[in-house]
Amino acid sequence: SEKCVKVLVVCHTQEKAYQNKHEFERFSKYFQGVKTGVVSTGSSIAEYKKNLKVLKDNCPHILIGTPGLVAGLVRGKDLAFDRLSQFVLDECGKCLDHFGMRNLIQMIFNGTPKKKQV
């Protein structure tokens, strides 16, 4: 299996990110070799480094995260979307209602391949 993110799910809160991860794990047990991962805004440098380690050592096929951290990973060139085939914005209305979050999501979205399912 490829070591790249194929599906990106952006959630407006850390809690929603973990709920989504749980649901993806429930379904992915039927698909051998599919890995899910979650990155969300943490309050410490250690949490950020842990997120980077997940991406580099055990790259998930399905990545779920909050806009702030996903954008930070993109800016730091720690996350590439070259092979991304699906972009999911969970609870789109809530994400786009917040102006700062909207800007981050637009930046992330614009950094993804033009050919993808949204």
Each residue's pLDDT, cut to its tens digit, for the chain (118 residues) gives: 567 889 999 998 889 999 999 999 898 888 888 888 888 766 465 676 676 776 777 788 999 999 888 888 888 777 778 899 999 999 877 777 777 788 999 999 998 999 999 9
pLDDT at 76: 76
**In this structure, are residues 96 and 74 in contact, taking their beta carbons and an 8 Å threshold?**
no
Stated pTM of the model: 0.86
Task: Return the amino acid letter for 77.
Answer: K
Query: What whole-number distance in Å separates Cα of residue 64 and Cα of residue 41?
Result: 12
pLDDT at position 115: 93
